[in-house]
Amino acid sequence: MSQPTTSPVTGTIQELRQAKTLVEQVTASLKTQKKILEQRGLNLPPMVLTALSAVRSDLGKLETALVEEQTELGQLRALADMAAEITTSLEVQKVLEETMDLVIALTRAERGYVVSLDEATNEFIFRFSRDNTLKPGQAQSGTTPKISQSVLRKVIETREPILTDNASNDDRFEGNVSIVNLSLRSVLCVPLIFKEETLGAVYVDNRLQAGIFTEREKNTLMAFANTAAVALANAQMYQEVQRALNEITQTKQLMDNVFDSIGSGLIATNAADEITTFNRAAETILEVPATEVEGKQLRDVLPRIAVDLKDHLAHIRQHHDDQDTIDSILTRKDGTSRAVSFKLAPLRGSDNQTDGVAVVADDVTDKREREQQLRIMKTYLPPELVDKIGDISQLSLGGGEKREITCLFVEVYALKKLKNVRPREVMEILNTYLSVVTGCIHDTQGVIDKYMGNEIMAIWNTQLNPQKDHAYLAVEAALRMRENFIKMYTDLNMNIDEPLYRIGMHTGVATLGNVGSPNRRDFTAIGDTINLSKRLEENSKYGEIILSIDTLQQFQNNTKEHLSAYRFQERPAILGKGKSEATQVYEVFRNNG
């Protein structure tokens, strides 16, 4: 920062001082001559000495005026240089610290501070400090300078400057303990105002000399404050712009990274259907770089996905909240085909009007192939096992879980009736009957454990289908089998005196888990509950649905609201294999049949 420069007026001041010296010399000489003349009885012309004294006074006044003008001119030049440097520099902190040295020099202050007020804490923040009373290494880093905070608060509150030539004796601060304790003499404080907003204050003082601040110093400090306020506001706006720009840049980079990392192809258009966004996945799926499609019409880039793409786009624009899906088969450059699903959705602006279209493209080839494989698997395996294959795979071999289940065995067709039938026809007949039973089990959320020729084993309340009313569901499945068999007999015009099916079920604790080897395993249930269920089915008559007393009790305890719809008739007890006590059994019917 440049220091105040001298002007050509300096020479005139020198000449005035020389003239004043000559007048003083002439006056002294005339006073000597006056004494000599008086001794001889003579006198000097009247008013000569008075006139010389007046000339000397006028020369002193002129000198003082010229000195003040020179000082003020120097201050104005320094302020002009300071303003130019502050308003053109982005390093506001550095520039203001340098200019504070100049302000202290111009005002002859000891200390100077630029201060702002934190509205949240009501505490002062010292932005810039200069203290000529401190020796090197004695900077007040991290401490609050000992100045009059009452003066600061008053200036910030009233937005008016305060100038006092002897603060300790100033009536405005009578009783102010801080001013008395600090022994302040000359104090000058002006507000920092920018566009009617008070940013803080500029404070200078001198604790040793009184009366060193005048209106001229106040005007100088006001000019500095006005420039500093503009600089601080500009710096704050610049920082906000930089922060906003950084946030925008980071957001854009994040969005670019997100778009590039998303597995789905993302395409966005403007109101004219021109492509504005085309991420990396879209480049891979459509085999075209983004640089070749940005700015082009969407219908020119996606002509292969649908012959009526134009109609789809029109529908999206007319129905703002609707989405549209187009499933397409795209032939790639290597001759292979890929199944791609395109989802179209409107892009709405702040006025809720459609400003463009968003297209999400997903290569669903592998998904379609997996779905096809699952559909095929479900024709061979129970659907519940296929749907929850992941859960089943977590069960270790040799482990398992003990839980209460209801197990049902059903013989769908008496093999003695198929003695003279060819094997192929036997397979067709059994498949027809097994299909009826399979549907009833699936409808009641049962799990088919296995197919055993003309028999099926089913379970309710496994890890895959937890059910509180599992006995009721098993009973319901069995009754539906009976009803569907009767309907099938009628549809096929079969004249059968004796039904061809028999069903047995039991409720109890069994161990459920995986059995087999690491390369081939089955999810199944083992234990006495399974054995007894099979025993009940084997000892029932054709056309009967037999259940144990345990199944009946579970049914009654958990399905009380259904009891009136069913009828249970006691049958002779059945002795299970390896059991010493017979099991009480019942046959179940619907109350309306």
| Structure tokens belonging to residue 466 | 């937890």
pLDDT at 3 over 50: no
Which pLDDT band holds residue 511 (cuts at 50, 70, 90)? Answer: confident
Which pLDDT band holds residue 589 (cuts at 50, 70, 90)? Answer: very high
Which pLDDT band holds residue 480 (cuts at 50, 70, 90)? Answer: very high
> How many other C-beta atoms can be found within 10 angstroms of the C-beta atom of residue 156?
21
In contact, 359 and 378? CB cutoff 8 Å:
no
In contact, 440 and 416? CB cutoff 8 Å:
no
Percent of the chain with pLDDT over 90: 14
**3-class SS at 322?**
coil
Q: Which residue has the higher pLDDT, 192 or 66?
A: 192
Give pLDDT tens digits for 138-164.
Answer: 444 446 777 778 888 888 889 899 888
Give pLDDT tens digits for 200-220.
Answer: 888 888 877 777 788 877 887
**Given phi > 0 = left and psi -120 to 50 = alpha, else beta, which region is 27?**
alpha
Q: How far apart are CA 586 and CA 54, in angstroms?
A: 144
- What pLDDT score was predicted for residue 509? 93
Q: Which residue has the higher pLDDT, 166 or 461?
A: 461
- What pLDDT score was predicted for residue 457? 92
Mean of the pLDDT values across residues 108-123? Answer: 83
Q: Give strand pairing partners of 125.
A: 116
Among the residue ranges 14-23, 323-332, 503-512, the one predicted with the least confidence is: 14-23
- CA atoms 116, 122, 125, 130: torsion sign: positive
Which pLDDT band holds residue 175 (cuts at 50, 70, 90)? Answer: low
377, 378, 383, 386: CA torsion to nearest 10: 10
Q: How far apart are CA 449 and CA 437, in angstroms?
A: 13
pTM summary value: 0.41
Q: How far apart are CA 477 and CA 441, in angstroms?
A: 6
Give pLDDT tens digits for 390-403.
Answer: 555 555 545 578 89
- Give the number of C-alpha atoms closer than 13 A to the C-alpha of residue 7, restricted to the C-beta side: 17
